[in-house]
Amino acid sequence: MLVVFFTLLTLAYVYHRENRVGIASAVYIFIVLIIHALFYYEVMLLDLDYFISDELAYIDFDDAQGLSESAKNDRILWFYYHSLVSFIMPVDGLFNKLISLPFLPLILLLVYNFCNKRNLSLFLFLFCPYLLFLMQTAIRDIAILYFTLLIISYWCNASSKNSKVIFQLLTLIFLLFMLRPFAVFIVAFSIYIYELFAKFKNKPFRDVLYLLFYNVVVAIIVSGFFYLLFQDKIDQYIRTLTYFSENGLWLDESKSNVKPALTFQYFSYAIIRYISTPLPTSLLERFLTESVTQFGYLDDIVRFLNQLFYFVMFIWILIKLVIRKGKLVAQWNSSIWILCIVTILNSIVYALYYAGGGHSRIKLLLFIFVFVVFVCLGKREDKAH
191-241 confidence digits (pLDDT tens):
999 988 888 777 777 777 777 777 778 778 877 877 777 777 777 777 776
Taking Cα atoms as reference points, which of 276, 272, 353 lies closest to residue 311? 276
What lies within 8 Å, CB to CB, of 176 at 6+ separation is: 144, 147, 148, 151, 183, 184, 187
b/e per residue, 174-205, with b = 16+ CB within 10 A?
ebbbbbbbbbbbbbbebbbbbebeeeeeeeee
Most confident range (mean pLDDT) of 217-221, 285-289, 323-327, 366-370 is 366-370
Between 248 and 231, the more confident residue is: 231
When mean pLDDT is compared across 60-74, 100-114, 247-261, 335-349, the lowest value belongs to 247-261
Three-state secondary structure string covering 52-89: CCCHHHHCCCCCCCCCCHHHHHCCHHHHHHHHHHCCCC
pLDDT of 252 reads: 57
pLDDT recorded at residue 385 = 40
Burial class (CB in 10 A: 0-12, 13-18, 19+), 43: middle
Q: How confident is the model at residue 289 (pLDDT cuts 50, 70, 90)?
A: confident
Q: Which of 61-65, 112-116, 260-264 has the lowest mean pLDDT?
A: 61-65
Say how far apart CA 28 and CA 250 lie, in whole Å: 33
- Computed over every residue of the chain, the mean pLDDT equals 83
pLDDT at position 327: 67
What average pLDDT score do residues 28-46 get? 93
Residue-wise pLDDT for 45-93, tens only, equals 988 888 876 777 777 666 666 677 777 778 889 988 888 887 766 556 7
In Å, what is the CA distance from 214 to each residue of 22, 172, 193, 194, 201? 46, 28, 13, 16, 16
Span of 19-28, 129-138, 345-354 with lowest mean pLDDT: 345-354
The reported pLDDT for the residue numbered 92 is 61
Percent of the chain with pLDDT over 90: 38
Res. 324: pLDDT tops 80: no
pTM, rounded to two decimals? 0.90
Residue 384 pLDDT level (bands cut at 50, 70, 90): very low
The whole-number pLDDT of residue 91 equals 55
Range 363-385 average pLDDT: 77
CB 13 within 8 A of CB 105: yes
Write down the pLDDT at residue 321: 82
Question: Quick check: 359 pLDDT over 90?
Answer: no
Residues with Cβ within 8 Å of 195's Cβ and at least 6 positions away in sequence, in order, are: none
175 has pLDDT over 80? yes
Is residue 382 over pLDDT 50? no
Q: What is the pLDDT of residue 360?
A: 85
Q: Give the separation between CA 112 and CA 105, rounded to whole angstroms.
A: 10
- If you average pLDDT over residues 278-307, what whole number do you get? 84
pLDDT of residue 37: 95
